[in-house]
Amino acid sequence: MSSIIEPNQPLRLGVVGNPISHSMSPQLHQQFAQQFGIDIQYGKICPTAKGFNRVLNDFFQSGGYGLNVTAPFKQQALDYATIITQRAKDSQSVNTLVKTKEGILGDSTDGIGFVKDLHHKELDFQNKRAVLLGAGGVARCIAQALLLDGFEVYLINRTQSKAQAMAEALNHLGPIQLYTNDIAVDLVVNSVSFNAEQFLPQIKFDNTAVAYDLNYGAKAETFLTAAKDYTALQFDGLGMLIEQGAEAFGLWTGKYPDTSLISL
């Protein structure tokens, strides 16, 4: 991949989503840039679904270099990119775009960001069995990363056919199947937006099991509070947000920030 960063010019970056006003990405990437003395301009972009391609074309053609992509545009970003990494293909999702001389590169850093956050927390999963709640786009990113990290992955989803389709699509990466409650797991990951706590009684937990909600802040409180009755430790997705952002920053600049220094 050949960089086209302009010398002596601020690096134009941004995040695209709808809604996007709540995003902490500008503060996050300014902190990353400060670690290396890099001058960046980072903005929020809120297109409609129909206007997505036009807005991105305007951004890249006017000197924009890299974008984070959040809901609901990760599938459209996959279609928009002209070069797709293998992990983005497996995830069927793109959350990072970067302009190169060869075209617009699309990558998915959600999964690796999640696994890196687990590693930074120094959690010991002896059996490495995870149950994933949900089978949407972000769940596929997480499943792909867990499989590559050596986990057995089990799925629970309201629509079993959707979970089965995801399991079949990722089976080449490792053991992934629908969950049955005779299997003890040591990690439960919630990827759905609401009512995930209803699934907890269906799961057989190891004594040292950990609960992780990909949501963060108030959105994660209901699930993580309920999980205290079943798991030894509970975490929200703020660490994943930071780690996936660091991976994106590394793609853009070749420099990987120290995420332990970040304050959000």
Is 135 annotated in some ligand binding site? Answer: yes
Nearest to 75 by CA among 151, 5, 138: 138
For residue 204, what are the β-bridge partners? 184
Is 208 annotated in some ligand binding site? Answer: no
Is 230 annotated in some ligand binding site? Answer: no
Name the one residue in this structure whose structure tokens are 């009684």: 201
Is 136 annotated in some ligand binding site? Answer: yes
228 is catalytic: no
From CA 216, how far away is CA 236, in angstroms rounded? Answer: 5
Is 96 annotated in some ligand binding site? Answer: no
Is 53 annotated in some ligand binding site? Answer: no
Write the CA distances from 136 to 20, 41, 57, 90, 202, integer angstroms.
20, 32, 27, 13, 20
Is 17 annotated in some ligand binding site? Answer: no
Is 137 annotated in some ligand binding site? Answer: yes
Cβ neighbours of residue 45 under 8 Å, at least 6 residues apart? 14, 15, 16, 17, 20, 55, 59, 67
Is 244 annotated in some ligand binding site? Answer: yes
Residue from 44, 50, 74, 89 carrying the catalytic annotation: 74
Name the one residue in this structure whose structure tokens are 């997505």: 52
Q: Which residues are catalytic?
A: 74
Binding-site annotation, residues for shikimate: 23-25, 70, 95, 110, 216, 244
